[in-house]
Amino acid sequence: MSANSHQESPWMGSVGLGLLLLGVAGGVLTLSFIGYSVTHSHAIWTGGRVATILIGLYGMMGVIAGLVNSSVEAGGGDDHGSDDHGHDAYGHHGSFSPIIIGVGTMLFLYGFVESYTILGFGLLVIFLGAFNWWREDYPNDGKDEMKSLGQPYKGQDVRKVGLWVFLMSEVLIFGSFFSSYLRMRMGWSTHWNEECNSMLESGSALPTCSENYVIVASEYVTHSFMTLLPGAINTFALILSSYTVVLALKSAKAQEFIPSKNKWIRMWMPDRRRAVRNNLLATLALGTLFLIFKLIEWEHLIYGEDFTVKSSLAGSIFYVSTGAHGFHVFVGLIFLCFFCFKAHNDGWQPENSQSIEYFGLYWHFVDLAWVAIFPAFYLY
C-alpha cells in the first residue's frame, strides 16, 4: 500500500478519476439543460446546476490532489510499519495539516465579512491542508495508532478522543442556533396562534391578524406535500447515508469478508474492496443528493416565496442554521472523496478501518443535527 515511488504513485489514478468526473459533470449540465428546455422546471435546472458544481468540484479535487500528491513523496517520507526509521510507537500520525485547515477556515470565515479575496485564499489554504493530510494518511496501515496516555482517556485512540471533543464543540454551535431561534420564536405570533390560524382558513392571503405576526419557514415548507418533499427526502437520504457508512465500516472491519447471499448485493459487493468502496460511494451520492435538494428548496423559498436571509429574522435564523448544517455536509463530502479514492485502491483493511469509524462519527453527528433541525425549522 506504499505510495512512495513517483512511478508507482496511485495518485495519478486520482487524476484519471477526476477527469472522468469532470466529463460526468458536463453531461449532467447538458441533461439538466435539456430537461429544463422540455419541462421548464426550475427544480430540474437548479438541481442540475448544483449537481454539476458538486461533481465538477469532486473531479477538480481528484485532478489537483492527484497532481500535487504524485509530485511529492507520500507520508512525508514515513514508511509506516517499517522499523528502519527508528520512530517511536506514537510518532507517526502527528500532522500539521489540521492546523493548516484551521487557519484556512478562519480566513474563509473572515472573508465572508470582509472580502471575497480573503475568502478565496482561505478556501485555497483549506484544500492545500486537506490534500497534504490525505497524502500523509494514504499509507496509514493502522499499525501505529496513537493512544492517549493521560486520564480520563488513558488507552483510548487519540484520534477518537479528539474527534469526540470536536463534535462536542459542534454541539455548542448548534445549541446556540437553537436557543436563539427558541428565544425569537417565543416572542412571535405565528400560524400556531389560534386566532391567526382561523383567519388563515377563512382568507386566501397570509394573515395580518397581529402586528407581531411572523411567517416562519415551516409555514411555506408544510404548505403542500410538494414543498415538504425536498426536506423529507433529505431526512431519509441522511439516515440512509448513515447506514451505508456503517456498512462500509463493517465490510472494512471484518477479518474475513463474506459476500451477501442476496445475488443483487453480491453482484454490487463481491469482495471487501468493492463493498467498502461502493458503500462509501453510496454515502457520497446520498450526501450530494442532500445538497441538491437543499438548494432546490432554498431556490423555491428565495425566488418563489421571497423568503430571504434579509427579509426577516425568521429568514435569517433559518438560512444560518440550515446553511451551517449544509456546510457540515459539504465538508464531510470533501473528505469522503478521499475515503472513496483510498477504498478504490484497496486501502481499507481491518487494521486501519478505524479511520472510517471516525469519519462515520462525524457523519452521524451531521445526521443527528438534522434530526433536531428538521422538526424545529421545517415542521414546527
Residues that bind another protein (CB under 8 A): 152-153, 156, 160-161, 164-165, 167-169, 171-172, 175-176, 178-183, 186-187, 192, 194, 197-198, 222, 228, 232, 235-236, 239-240, 242-243, 246-247, 249-250, 253, 357, 360-361, 364-365, 367-368, 371-372, 374-375, 379-380
In the complex, minimum distance from the CB of residue 251 to another protein, in angstroms, rounded to a whole number: 12
Using alpha carbons only, what angle is made at residue 148 by residues 142 and 154, rounded to the nearest 5 degrees? Answer: 125
B/e letters for 71-90, b = 16+ CB within 10 Å, e = fewer, are eeebbeebbbeeeeeeeeee
Query: Nearer Cβ to another protein, position 5 or 169?
Result: 169
Query: Nearer Cβ to another protein, position 34 or 239?
Result: 239
In the complex, minimum distance from the CB of residue 31 to another protein, in angstroms, rounded to a whole number: 30
Query: Nearer Cβ to another protein, position 87 or 364?
Result: 364
CB 159 within 8 A of CB 146: yes
Query: Nearer Cβ to another protein, position 106 or 361?
Result: 361
In the complex, minimum distance from the CB of residue 145 to another protein, in angstroms, rounded to a whole number: 13
In the complex, minimum distance from the CB of residue 126 to another protein, in angstroms, rounded to a whole number: 25
Query: Nearer Cβ to another protein, position 52 or 353?
Result: 353
Smallest CA-to-CA distance from 60 within 102, 28, 101, 14 is with 14
Q: Side chain identity at 360, as an amino acid letter?
A: G
In the complex, minimum distance from the CB of residue 257 to another protein, in angstroms, rounded to a whole number: 15
CB 356 within 8 A of CB 348: yes
DSSP letters, 147-216, are B--STTSTTSBHHHHHHHHHHHHHHHHHHHHHHHHHHHHHH-B-TTSHHHHHHHHH-SSPP-S-TTB---
Which residue is it, cell 477518537?
Answer: 160
Query: Nearer Cβ to another protein, position 36 or 257?
Result: 257
Which residue is it, cell 500532522?
Answer: 95
Task: Name the 3-class secondary structure at 345.
Answer: coil
In the complex, minimum distance from the CB of residue 187 to another protein, in angstroms, rounded to a whole number: 6
